[in-house]
Amino acid sequence: MRNALIFFIAVLIVQFAEAQNVTEKDVVGKILIIKAPKGHSFNHLNFPRLNFIIKKRGIANYKSVYDNRVKITASEQLEDGNTRVYLKRTNGRKFFNYLPEVAANLELALQSGELVLYEP
């Protein structure tokens, strides 16, 4: 009886862990749109500062990323419960002509309006 109870608890733990992985996989592949930030710069999209963009000989203008469609290529769960996602442009070009991928905090970016779900 005791062994059956331990086995049952182990099966439940494995199923809960597997359920968390399924939700992370559901996010990958979704398409979002980058919108203009409320303030001067992006808070939840991890774009580099403009002086680093200039050093890499990129185009140092945040307006060049407004209204771009991006696709979620990977995601990971953070310790605070939020999800970090990695974004690539759907047209294949790089951000600022040098950055192929950018990271973002998904929940906070959606709440602040920096990212919006794309619905065709």
The pLDDT profile of the chain, 120 residues, written as one tens digit per residue, is: 777 777 777 766 766 655 444 355 578 999 999 999 988 889 999 999 989 999 988 888 888 999 999 999 999 998 988 999 999 999 999 999 999 999 999 999 999 999 999 988
Q: Which residue has the tokens 């990323």?
A: 65
User: What pLDDT does residue 33 have?
Assistant: 96
Do residues 84 and 20 make contact, with C-beta atoms less than 8 angstroms apart? no
**Helix locations, the chain, DSSP H:** 2-27, 50-55, 106-112
Which strands form 69-77's sheet, in the order they lie side by side?
102-105, 83-89, 69-77, 31-34, 115-117
For residue 113, the model assigns a pLDDT of 93
**Taking CA 83 as the corner, what is the angle to CA 21 and CA 80, rounded to the nearest 5 degrees?**
105
Contact 86, 73 (CB under 8 A): yes
